[in-house]
Structure 1
Amino acid sequence: MASPGFDATFYDLQLRIELSPENLVGTVRVRGVAREAMSSLVLDFDPAMRVEGVLDRNGQPLASSRPDGALSITLASTAMVGDTIDVTVYYEGRPQVTGLGGFVFDTNQSGKPAIWSLSEPYGARTWWPSRDHPGDKADSVDVSIEVPQPLTAASNGVLTHVEEVIGGYRRFHFEHRYPIATYLVSVAVAEYDVDTQLYRRPPALAQDLGELELPLVHYSFAGNGAFEGSHPQYGFQYITDIFPVLEHWFGPYPFARELYGHAQFTFGGAMEHQTLSSMTTNYQGTMAHELAHQWFGDSVSPGSWRDLWLNEGFATLGELIYWQATEFPDVHDQIFDIYYRRALQAEGTLVLQDTTDVLDMFAHSRVYAKGWMVLRMLRGIVGESVFREILKAYAADPRYQYGTARTEDFAALAETISGQSLGYFFAQWVTEGDGYPFYSARWGKRPNGASWDVEVTLEQTGNARTFQMPIWIEVQTAAGARQFLVFNQLDVETYIFTVQDEPSGIIVDPDRWILRAEDVVVTHMDASPELPSSGKLSLYPVPAIGRITVESTWGQPVAADLVDGLGRTISTRLLPPGKTDWTLNGLAPGLYGIRTAQGVTHTFILSGQ
């Protein structure tokens, strides 16, 4: 409903919270720039809130009306492109609870008042007038909150001063000088214990990112000990353990000129309000999730709610990354299992088709768990170091940092940095496809001189589509296991691997790099069937250095492709009967294969020496 041609640049919220009766009195200054000629300004604002008046920048009254779900303000004169629009709205009322909350008057477990906001995705309009869209960020925001004593107020950014106000109130004034989306503007009010810390960036990180001493402020319900915690996995104080892990993966904390902290509320979950996450729990996993949002969700916000997975999938990744780096490895494995199974329950495409049902939008199985698994699969495709480079580049890209991004922006950046074509991946997992693959495998073995050939036929069954994915296959022998990476893109595909010791079994995707049906049926054949021809190929030496010799026992020329570890064709030739040397000059060390026209891939390792 809000004017699409208006670009908000600054909000100044002056709020007074009254408890008896419960009431919110607000004055909001809205400043922005016209991107098209405008004779009126329409803001998102719930009709339950009563507008007392609207003034222009000169203090002159402006006419207004209340179309459904909005506030329409008639400007004193038509604003032309590039003109500044500056109005102040006076209002009051009791906000209606909506979506995940909006603005809530509540009590905590001690029976004391707890007043808070949670505006994601459409709740800001229930308690203050704005252009309530994640794609329109104001350059900065001021929030001033008057509360009856002994309550304390918390909000985004830096607390600049507290002053006594007549009538037994205190006014808390906050300034935040970073771009911010409306849904991230926060109010948290209660009787709080306030604890402070300082995060000093560790020397190893400081060498790459520069030195940092960041103030940390924690607002805990009075007397409940949330800062100290009652268990090694609980306590706001442990945020200093989480920071270096996430900075290692994501780059420098994006709001380093100000601070970070937590404020307790009674929602039952948590919310990544910019610089001050609202928390019900002091559990380290939740703290890691909300801190990760400061990079992904707050600094880089979704250009549309359809791209919500860019928030929640990345923050869930932050949880798993943190647990993997801590002294609680069992926690990581337990959380991994839980989220993996939830991801299998996801319905619909990861990019949301319907953004009207708030509870469906935030289904944990989809935007959280499957969103995380998509990033894990990407990590498996491009490799650990490149994946971390992608995350850091995405967070720091000037096109997106302190702005917004869409799924196609992240996909394009991942392609650029990895040097891989990833269109197939994002189409089947994010933008177009749903579900997941069901794999089954048949395998057999046969001697090959002093070595053993292992033939594996991988089949996708019960799928509405054929998934294209790199997949690890582990061959087990008495001397240990060896893993081979192949690119699977057909319903039925056969691969041949060579190992030194007699194989005893195989495992498909042993480390769950793919979101797939958990049970992979593996069938052992007493003797491998003959290749779909009267001959076979042998490759040597393995590992290869500079070239690979391909020996064919077919009685006629056979078409074959040299492919990389992702199944991409590098070159093609006809292999005559007998031996053929295939030159590998210019190729990077890694896994390659010779794929015949019959669909059988013989893999080999190219050494760099």
Structure 2
Amino acid sequence: MKNFLQLFFILTFSFVFSQNQTEGTQLDTDYKPVYYRLEMNLNPNQQAFSGTTTVHFNTTDELSLFKINARPNLNIQSITYHQNTISSYTRAGDVLNITLPELLPAGKLDSISISFSGNASTSTGLTLGEHAGVPIIETIAQPWHASSWWVCKDDLIDKVTKLDVYVTHPNEFKAASNGLLKSVTPAGNEMSTTHWQHNYAIPVYLIGIAVTNYAEYNNSVVIGGTTIPIINYLYPETMSNWTGQLDQVPSHIQFLSEKFGEYPYKNEKYGHAQWNRNGGMEHSTMSFMGKFTFNLVVHELAHMWFGDKVTCATWHDIWLNEGFADYCTGLMTEYYQGEQDFNSWKSTRVQEITSQNGGSVYNPDADSESRTFNSRLTYKKGSMVVHLIRFMMNDDELFYQTLKNWVNDSGFSWGYADTEDFKAFIEVQTGNDWTDYFNDWIYGEGHPIFNILVDKTPGGNELTVHFSQSGSHSSVPYFHTPFEIEFRGSGGQKEIRRFEISAQQQNFEVNDLGFNVTSFVPNPNSDVVCKIASSVLSTDELNSDSEIKIYPNPVQNLLNIESGVQIRQIEITDLSGKTIYKKSKINQNQFEIQTRNFSKGVYIIQIKTDKKLQTKKFIKE
């Protein structure tokens, strides 16, 4: 789901409902649902709704008490088992406990039907609205709102392999949902029943329905020899605003299919249904969204691979859905608009991510919707740590093949994966240990803050690059990452060099540039989420000045300063600009400074005499 509100506010599915809505009860049951038949009576002109869930299930152990989720706002009208009514049931919170008339053995395929009713005013997942004076009724299920509008096993870990959705609605409206449109049949009393069927594995949070006076704008794309229909249900009054963006969808599908494998639902469809929320929701085969902007359209489409085909195992791991989908908007920007716009895309994210010091990509509070769908962390930082994988690999062919293998791996495809699953997978794919990456960038909080000093030899092009870094949050003292610097010369020369950062203090020698360096740009393409506290180009010409000498350099305990003229003032700062030492009214030609308690690193010393203010650097070992 794409977070979007005036440049992508927190995704609407979470905040339009109560921010205090708690997670539904995760049921420990002795059965697995395999098929849902959902029959809904939805009239956009009415608050009231009703329906029947028929769930087919396989028992995994002996079963006599059937548990399923139904939030308190739903009224249970009847329960039918083998054509007989069951009256023996209890309710506890959002759990419906049904006593079966017999003990079912393990390994039995069975079914039960539950009829229910409710009111849109009390449902967190079914809402009424209007557009241009026309009513609309729409649903949302993510993360645990499905059971507020239909009876189901409302969790992440139970995907059914078949779904039939029957929506009875007034004749003047159309109903949008998952899968293929099988029929629209008269239901009497100026009502129709629309039947959608979906034959791919799906969790309940990806099931959605919307009903209003839709106009259709359709297209198609050929993938692997299969023609896939693209069905768009749009508001008639705004359809012309979005046809240009929607005409690009076939190209989007082709790009993502090339990179990550064929469109997952090629035997059914892809499409969109317009709704009244600003954001989008990646209902399998038919994404719901309020506006069809480039980023939102791409984001929800990318979920068909990342989130729908391979689904996060818990809401702690939501970055595996949202981070990857958001990164696909960057890949599309790179593909359509080029490297410069892609660098701007990355830079914007880096600025937002580093606007605060804390926060991890891994979600520590899965009970909080606002944290789960946090724009800065789950989406933007999530996307940039995916980019960091690409940057660390430094091999686009390997990167794309790894992700293609991921979404098509038999252990995860049409199933679930958590963060540790992805770590193990990428380690096998690359043959490398990714522990530092996951500890720093996924589980750890914050970002690195770099101070960079580049020393240049007098009149030459030999450089010593000094890196000093700290973490913005105490959970990560320093980050492991590649890092690039673009060196620039007086004649317009530019050359990027790559450094592997694995400590708080590191020095690198660069002695093969073919030009005189006059400046440098750290992180020129915004590949690393970081802040640059200082970046200084220094020359040893200052240190060779016979008028002022500092020694020894590097220094351990005692720094000596000698000058041909009297020294008036000395100030020492670290690379972040923090003053470490300052002394005025010295009025001596020689001076000593105790450096025993200085931290190891590079320092800048400013020495003021009657003649000038000179700046030098020294290293504390």
Q: Report the Cα distance in structure 2 between the residues aligned to 1:458 and 1:366, rounded to whole angstroms.
A: 26
- Which of 266, 282, 286 is equivalent to 1:256? 266
Q: Which runs of 5+ in 1 are unaligned?
A: 202-209, 534-597, 601-609
- Which of 345, 353, 362 is equivalent to 1:351? 362
Q: Report the Cα distance in structure 1 between the residues aligned to 2:542 and 2:172, rounded to whole angstroms.
A: 79
The answer to whether the Cα contact below 8 Å between 1:10 and 1:31 also exists between their aligned partners in 2 is: yes
Partner of 1:496: 509
User: How large is the RMSD of aligned CA atoms in angstroms?
Assistant: 2.4
Q: Report the Cα distance in structure 2 between the residues aligned to 1:174 and 1:388, rounded to whole angstroms.
A: 34
Partner of 2:576: none
Tell me how far 1:330 sits from its aligned partner.
7.0
Tell me how far 1:62 sits from its aligned partner.
5.1
Q: Report the Cα distance in structure 1 between the residues aligned to 2:234 and 2:56, rounded to whole angstroms.
A: 34
Residue type of the partner of 2:390? Answer: R
Partner of 2:112: 87
Superposed CA deviations along residues 415-466 of structure 1, whole A, max 9, x for unmatched, are 21122211100111112x1000000111112279xx7321111111464311
Cα 1:251/1:599, change in 2 over 3 Å: farther
Q: Report the Cα distance in structure 2 between the residues aligned to 1:200 and 1:341, rounded to whole angstroms.
A: 39
Correspondence 1:106-117 to 2 at 5 A: 106-108=129-131, 110-117=132-139
Tell me how far 1:342 sits from its aligned partner.
2.1
Correspondence 1:214-293 to 2 at 5 A: 214-226=228-240, 228-229=242-243, 235-293=245-303
Q: Report the Cα distance in structure 2 between the residues aligned to 1:126 and 1:146, rounded to whole angstroms.
A: 19
Q: Report the Cα distance in structure 1 between the residues aligned to 2:338 and 2:174, rounded to whole angstroms.
A: 35
Secondary structure at the residue paired with 1:235? helix
Q: Report the Cα distance in structure 2 between the residues aligned to 1:599 and 1:341, rounded to whole angstroms.
A: 27
Give the count of matched residue pairs.
518
Partner of 1:370: 381
TM-score, structure 2 as length reference:
0.79
The answer to whether the Cα contact below 8 Å between 2:31 and 2:58 also exists between their aligned partners in 1 is: yes
Tell me how far 1:60 sits from its aligned partner.
4.5
The answer to whether the Cα contact below 8 Å between 1:138 and 1:181 also exists between their aligned partners in 2 is: yes
Correspondence 1:487-566 to 2 at 5 A: 487-499=500-512, 500-527=514-541
Partner of 2:69: 44
Partner of 2:31: 6
Superposed CA deviations along residues 114-158 of structure 1, whole A, max 9, x for unmatched, are 111111101101011111111111111100000012011010000
Partner of 2:488: 476
The answer to whether the Cα contact below 8 Å between 2:215 and 2:233 also exists between their aligned partners in 1 is: yes
Secondary structure at the residue paired with 2:462? strand
Partner of 1:299: 309
TM-score, structure 1 as length reference:
0.81
Correspondence 1:424-435 to 2 at 5 A: 424-431=436-443, 433-435=444-446
Residue type of the partner of 1:358? Answer: E
The answer to whether the Cα contact below 8 Å between 2:73 and 2:122 also exists between their aligned partners in 1 is: no
Q: Report the Cα distance in structure 2 between the residues aligned to 1:528 and 1:380, rounded to whole angstroms.
A: 37
**Bigger Rg, which one:** 2
Secondary structure at the residue paired with 2:43? strand
Q: Aligned pair 1:170/2:181, yes or no?
A: no
Query: In terms of mean alpha carbon deviation, does 458-467 or 162-171 score higher?
Result: 458-467
Which consecutive segments of 4 or more residues in structure 1 shift more than 6 A?
528-531
- Which of 80, 88, 91 is equivalent to 1:55? 80
Superposed CA deviations along residues 534-576 of structure 1, whole A, max 9, x for unmatched, are xxxxxxxxxxxxxxxxxxxxxxxxxxxxxxxxxxxxxxxxxxx
Secondary structure at the residue paired with 2:324? helix
Q: Which runs of 5+ in 2 are unaligned?
A: 1-24, 544-551, 556-599, 603-621
Partner of 1:399: 411
The answer to whether the Cα contact below 8 Å between 2:230 and 2:269 also exists between their aligned partners in 1 is: yes
Q: Aligned pair 1:457/2:466, yes or no?
A: yes
Correspondence 1:138-149 to 2 at 5 A: 138-149=160-171
Q: Report the Cα distance in structure 1 between the residues aligned to 2:350 and 2:270, rounded to whole angstroms.
A: 30
Q: Report the Cα distance in structure 2 between the residues aligned to 1:33 and 1:97, rounded to whole angstroms.
A: 32
The answer to whether the Cα contact below 8 Å between 1:310 and 1:407 also exists between their aligned partners in 2 is: yes
The answer to whether the Cα contact below 8 Å between 1:226 and 1:235 also exists between their aligned partners in 2 is: no
Tell me how far 1:349 sits from its aligned partner.
2.1
Tell me how far 1:96 sits from its aligned partner.
5.2
The answer to whether the Cα contact below 8 Å between 1:95 and 1:126 also exists between their aligned partners in 2 is: no
Q: Report the Cα distance in structure 1 between the residues aligned to 2:85 and 2:386, rounded to whole angstroms.
A: 53
Secondary structure at the residue paired with 1:341? helix
Secondary structure at the residue paired with 1:66? strand
- Which of 68, 80, 96 is equivalent to 2:93? 68
Partner of 1:562: none
Q: Aligned pair 1:103/2:115, yes or no?
A: no
Query: In terms of mean alpha carbon deviation, does 219-228 or 396-405 score higher?
Result: 219-228
Tell me how far 1:484 sits from its aligned partner.
2.3
Query: In terms of mean alpha carbon deviation, does 359-368 or 243-252 score higher?
Result: 243-252
Q: Report the Cα distance in structure 1 between the residues aligned to 2:413 and 2:240, rounded to whole angstroms.
A: 32
Partner of 2:391: 380
Cα 1:381/1:331, change in 2 over 3 Å: closer
Q: Report the Cα distance in structure 1 between the residues aligned to 2:246 and 2:198, rounded to whole angstroms.
A: 22
The answer to whether the Cα contact below 8 Å between 2:450 and 2:532 also exists between their aligned partners in 1 is: no
Cα 1:445/1:327, change in 2 over 3 Å: closer
Secondary structure at the residue paired with 1:339? helix
Cα 1:367/1:242, change in 2 over 3 Å: same
Q: Report the Cα distance in structure 2 between the residues aligned to 1:81 and 1:349, rounded to whole angstroms.
A: 42
Cα 1:278/1:476, change in 2 over 3 Å: same
Residue type of the partner of 1:113? Answer: P
The answer to whether the Cα contact below 8 Å between 1:227 and 1:236 also exists between their aligned partners in 2 is: no
Q: Report the Cα distance in structure 2 between the residues aligned to 1:118 and 1:330, rounded to whole angstroms.
A: 37
Residue type of the partner of 2:258? Answer: H
- Which of 442, 451, 457 is equivalent to 1:440? 451
Cα 1:470/1:19, change in 2 over 3 Å: closer
Superposed CA deviations along residues 54-77 of structure 1, whole A, max 9, x for unmatched, are 111344435221111121111122
Secondary structure at the residue paired with 1:452? coil
Residue type of the partner of 2:316? Answer: R
Partner of 1:32: 57
The answer to whether the Cα contact below 8 Å between 1:343 and 1:373 also exists between their aligned partners in 2 is: no
Query: In terms of mean alpha carbon deviation, does 467-476 or 402-411 score higher?
Result: 467-476
Superposed CA deviations along residues 296-336 of structure 1, whole A, max 9, x for unmatched, are 11111111011111111011011111122114877645543
Residue type of the partner of 1:155? Answer: S
Residue type of the partner of 2:269? Answer: L
Superposed CA deviations along residues 344-365 of structure 1, whole A, max 9, x for unmatched, are 2464321111122212211100
Query: In terms of mean alpha carbon deviation, does 323-332 or 161-170 score higher?
Result: 323-332
Q: Report the Cα distance in structure 2 between the residues aligned to 1:226 and 1:116, rounded to whole angstroms.
A: 22
Cα 1:331/1:135, change in 2 over 3 Å: same
Q: Aligned pair 1:390/2:402, yes or no?
A: yes
Q: Aligned pair 1:213/2:235, yes or no?
A: no
Q: Aligned pair 1:409/2:434, yes or no?
A: no
Which structure carries more relative contact order (alpha carbon 8 Å, separation 6+)?
2
Secondary structure at the residue paired with 2:403? helix
Residue type of the partner of 1:179? Answer: A
Secondary structure at the residue paired with 2:303? helix
Tell me how far 1:174 sits from its aligned partner.
0.6
Cα 1:336/1:473, change in 2 over 3 Å: closer
Partner of 1:158: 180
Secondary structure at the residue paired with 1:33? strand
The answer to whether the Cα contact below 8 Å between 2:125 and 2:149 also exists between their aligned partners in 1 is: yes
Q: Report the Cα distance in structure 2 between the residues aligned to 1:130 and 1:267, rounded to whole angstroms.
A: 24
Q: Report the Cα distance in structure 1 between the residues aligned to 2:29 and 2:145, rounded to whole angstroms.
A: 18
Secondary structure at the residue paired with 2:248? helix
Residue type of the partner of 1:13? Answer: L
Tell me how far 1:509 sits from its aligned partner.
2.0
Q: Report the Cα distance in structure 1 between the residues aligned to 2:241 and 2:254, rounded to whole angstroms.
A: 19
Secondary structure at the residue paired with 2:80? strand
